[in-house]
Amino acid sequence: MIIKSRQSSDLRYSQVTPKGEYLNRRRFLSAGSLALGALTLPAQPAQAGTKLEGVVKSSYTVSDKATPYKDVTTYNNFYEFGVDKEDPAVNAKNFRTSPWTISVEGDVAKPRKFDISEILKIAPLEERIYRHRCVEAWSMVVPWIGIPLNALLKLVEPTAKAKYVAFQSLYDPRQMPKAGALDFPYMEGLRLDEAMHPLTMLTVGLYGEVLPNQNGAPLRLTVPWKYGFKGIKSINRIRLVGSQPSTSWNTMAAREYGFYSNVNPNVDHPRWSQAKERRIGEFFKRDTLMFNGYGDQVAGLYSGLDLKKNY
Q: Is 234 annotated as a binding residue?
A: no
Q: Is 279 in the site for ligand MTE (CB under 6 A)?
A: no
The single-letter DSSP state of residue 70 is: H
Measured distance CA(157)–CA(151) in Å, rounded: 10
Which of 28, 78, 259, 311 is the binder for ligand MTE (CB under 6 A)?
Answer: 78
The answer to the question of residue 291 lying near ligand MTE (CB under 6 A) is no
> What is the 3 state secondary structure string of 150-199?
HHHHHHHCECCCCCEEEEEECCCCCCCCCCCCCCCCCEEEEEHHHHHCCC
Using CA of residue 69, residue 75, residue 78, residue 81, what is the dihedral sign?
positive
In the bound state with Mo ion, the residue whose beta carbon lies nearer, of 104 and 223, is 223
- Binding status of residue 100 toward Mo ion by CB under 5 A: no
Positions in 13-72 near ligand MTE (CB under 6 A): none
Which residue has its beta carbon closest to ligand MTE?
A: 228
CA 47/CA 50 separation, integer angstroms: 6
- Give the number of other CB atoms < 10 A from CB of residue 162: 20
Instruction: For residue 174, give Cα distances in angstroms to 150, 178, 233, 304.
Output: 33, 10, 18, 46
CA distance 168 to 239: 8
**Binding to Mo ion by residue 229, rule CB under 5 A?**
yes
The residue from 44, 58, 77, 292 that contacts ligand MTE (CB under 6 A) is 77
- Residue 236 assigned ligand-binding role: no
Interaction of residue 233 with ligand MTE, rule CB under 6 A: yes
User: Which residues, 158 to 197, sit near ligand MTE by CB under 6 A?
Assistant: 169, 186
What's the DSSP call for residue 300? G
Is 80 an interacting residue with respect to ligand MTE (CB under 6 A)?
yes
Is there binding between residue 232 and ligand MTE (CB under 6 A)?
Answer: yes
- The residues in 75-94 that bind Mo ion, with binding defined as CB under 5 A, are 77
Stretch that binds ligand MTE, among 18-26, 74-82, 115-123, 262-270 (CB under 6 A): 74-82
Q: How far apart are the first and last CA of the chain?
A: 53
Positions touching ligand MTE (CB under 6 A) are 76-80, 132, 134, 169, 186, 215-216, 228-229, 231-234
Binding site for Mo-molybdopterin: residue ranges? Answer: 76, 79-80, 134, 169, 215, 220, 231-233
